Structure 1
């Protein structure tokens, strides 16, 4: 006999929510988006045109699709037909992939996504999932959705533009000597003509050409006609050179220089992407690829904030990333934790003096300086004896290295560092000169000391050796590093799917929030399973205790049946006592297991 199976008959209930488990990630997505304030949706509501799909619904289906490792607009549209979870979130709406892609790349989605991260962090703090004591910062480079061979380099652009400027300058000189362009004499630039000036040249040549053609139509003499025809051919050649060569190339180089900004390269298919050296080099040739530098801040492996930067190094990204975190969440935890890639004097000074927070950031030579070999090396300036009263150092040859002058350096970002320069009085005849310095024989050994940098280094060592702050820093490897592994391995997010910085930021924001929701869903599922397991064990304990309380002197029916067959009640009681002792041992073990839970 089989159960009734009929697929052509309507069955109840029709509410798909009944089929979704309570710990499913779809409920986490629904609760998070529903927590967004309504006033944010009122600001982006449009009064004209056909009524649009509600942004809540659109954000829900895209977020859930990302949790299922579905990033394509067409695949999200297919998932709406295939998954009853997606149908429940979309309220049975059929949405085209074009609508999905338009909403996903719109500026509205960026605002909603920023609000979801703020709400998510607030809920984590309220439910005590995170302590809000520290944030752990790290970065990785992800490849952009751009052609790997559509690169534009700053050095090549500068070289080609310089060659073009030389040609345009020579071209102007030739026209000026022929008195064709007299009005550009005062506007001429020594480094070549700009695109606006080249356009003026083209307009003037066109006017001269039209005037020559008009003269040619009215001229009857053959000698004069031949002169005018030669003049017309010359003007056409000059005009063709300006319009087909000089002007478009100059406009292209000027457009490239605007796109470069502070970068050295960009991609033609995604002008916001910069060419970087990726860790995941699937071509295995060290080739640079267009991408973005992703920076995230985590706690307890939950992503609290993120941002994209065009520069491949992490040192210059920390300060603007902390500013964006502060602008988004209106507060910063006490401890800022990061690896040695962020250790610089500028970052230490910014966190200490401006943000008034505690940096737990190592510097590049931290582990090297902690080794015994470094500490015992007499040629390291850090190990030299310093005489404070004389303001001088003593070199390994016991010669004084006295203060000489102050020095100041300014890097590309505008940060200024101050140094004190010390110089040995006389290095001539020193037996260990070759080991101490590589300077020329007629020059003495000089050292540059940055006291501000030394202070930050000693402060960093002190904090990392402290029990509390050291334990917080040691959490970094198990807090922020696994997030990138989950992003690339579990979520299979290896490349951006939208172009432009705004599109890429929305794309990675959806992926990171999907990671948070997946992790939160697993946490809630484990919590429910633990609670259910504990309740079952407690129920079993209560039932067994009641049995032993009411049947303390009663022999079970099974033992009565055994005694009736054997004809001996004493053997039945012996078996019963053995069974009871064994059961009590197992029962005690179950109790301990329930307490550990």
Structure 2
């Protein structure tokens, strides 16, 4: 005998669907977190007027619960509202369509995503899950929702633009030959020099077209002018406008994608073709504590070192508490970043790029390494292991992407001839030279001293089990390796929701473990 089964009978469900929700289910954590947030954050999203909108708390709950469950499509979220009891409970059995969900996520949330994220972080702090004292910092690259082959490169644009300028100047010279009168020819011998010096713009090309049109009214049969007008209108002007638009889109970048103009082409770890191909993406930076994400930012630059200062300036903009200690890998160990941490009174447990190599015996035996030399402060000279002196030659200034100015001093040895180490030390050159920032050398010495304490070593070792597992959880366990939205503002919203979902999932796991301990 079997338990009675039929698909034609009436299914009887309780009037209150909450009865079916387990006490410590993840959706209850999502509900609790959104309810505890500052209500003014979400209530500011709708200015009022027109048809009453869905409540922003409800919309945020269903989106966060979807992201917790690796559902990133607005169509799939809308589908769950009619099939999944957890979504039904969070939505109060309301069913916004996928357009409404996507509009709320893309347009409404972009103004308050950081307030929402930091609101959840503050709740974690109240629960005692984070202290916001140690900040484990790292970055990764996430592929943009863009075609992999619709790239535009700055070098190519500048190359084609230069060729266009040359062609324009040739056309203008041919026009001038037709238009200028014989008596004026001698007065305008320097016209070509002026033409070479003046920059070519789309406005200038338009002015030239108007000038040619005016002359054609007097000489409608002039073939040279007709051909020049056709070339300028049909070819040069559209291309010049396109190049100007591309240059404006580049900003400080070297590339962008046609399908997501905010995305920059970067080298990704996840390489589907296994050939080191560049793909459009964003550089994501996060700070963690106890594997909870306590800060995030998105960047259009591929390199990590220049992202640290903008990240913390963003944190400062939202009045976030300053961490006492910053822990990051050697990718962030630059003079600019050390200087920023010192000014902001953050203890920087950040190695520089040669820190680990300096501890090896092979490195210490290399006589040409700056770290193995002695500095004579009185004479401003460096002394190598063979007692040869490197004297000051010149200095140069360099500006970073963030506007930081560093000074590099170059020292050269005048006594390299006959030295038995010349070939290995000078690396094939006649004389040994070094380029050094004195400020950075002082910073490196401070880092070496700082990282000798047991507490600092323990915190730095902790870095390996702090940030990297978070990225692994998001990119591999949650299958989020590519954005679904396009544009910097929208991808910032999406990554912010991913970070909130990650924190809520960990919060729920922690609560469940605590409950089991009590039982």
Q: Same fold (TM over 0.5)?
A: yes
Distance 1:383 1:234 in 2: 71
1:204 deviation in Å? 3.6
CA 253–31 in structure 1, closer or farther in 2 if over 3 Å, else same: same
User: Is this contact kept in 1: 2:398–2:407, CA < 8 A?
Assistant: no
The one-character-per-residue Cα deviations of 1:209-255 (angstroms, maximum 9, x if unpaired) are 5x36xxxxxxxxxxxxxxx6633x55443332112101000000000
SS at match of 1:417: strand
1:386 deviation in Å? 4.2
1:250 aligns with 2:250: no
Alignment of structure 1 residues 106-505 onto 2, 5 Å = 106=107, 108-179=108-179, 190=197, 193-209=200-216, 211=217, 230-231=221-222, 234-353=224-343, 355-399=344-388, 401=389, 403-405=391-393, 407-413=395-401, 414-438=403-427, 440-441=429-430, 444-505=431-492
**Which structure dedicates a bigger proportion of its chain to helix?**
1
1:36 aligns with 2:23: no
CA 370–431 in structure 1, closer or farther in 2 if over 3 Å, else same: closer
Distance 1:390 1:409 in 2: 22
The one-character-per-residue Cα deviations of 1:10-34 (angstroms, maximum 9, x if unpaired) are 7463111111112111111112222
TM-score with structure 1 setting the length: 0.80
Distance 1:169 1:132 in 2: 61
1:175 deviation in Å? 1.2
Deviates more, 1:507-516 or 1:425-434: 425-434
CA 389–257 in structure 1, closer or farther in 2 if over 3 Å, else same: closer
1:4 deviation in Å? 9.4
The one-character-per-residue Cα deviations of 1:389-420 (angstroms, maximum 9, x if unpaired) are 55444334333x15435513213434322344
Deviates more, 1:78-87 or 1:379-388: 379-388
SS at match of 2:420: coil
TM-score with structure 2 setting the length: 0.91
**Greater relative contact order (Cα < 8 A, sep 6+):** 2
Distance 1:324 1:153 in 2: 29
1:64 aligns with 2:65: yes
CA 360–4 in structure 1, closer or farther in 2 if over 3 Å, else same: same
Matched with 1:51 is 52
Distance 1:393 1:4 in 2: 90
Distance 1:402 1:434 in 2: 16
User: Is this contact kept in 2: 1:58–1:90, CA < 8 A?
Assistant: yes
Count of residue pairs brought into register by the alignment = 509
The one-character-per-residue Cα deviations of 1:245-273 (angstroms, maximum 9, x if unpaired) are 01000000000000011100000010000
Which of the two has higher C-alpha Rg?
A: 1
Provide structure 2 residue ranges, at least 5 long, that are not aligned to the other structure.
Answer: none
Deviates more, 1:266-275 or 1:65-74: 65-74
Distance 1:325 1:29 in 2: 24
SS at match of 2:497: helix
Deviates more, 1:465-474 or 1:242-251: 465-474
Distance 2:339 2:289 in 1: 24
Provide structure 1 residue ranges, at least 5 long, that are not aligned to the other structure.
Answer: 213-227, 533-597
SS at match of 2:50: coil
Distance 1:393 1:319 in 2: 32
Distance 1:169 1:346 in 2: 44
Distance 1:404 1:415 in 2: 24
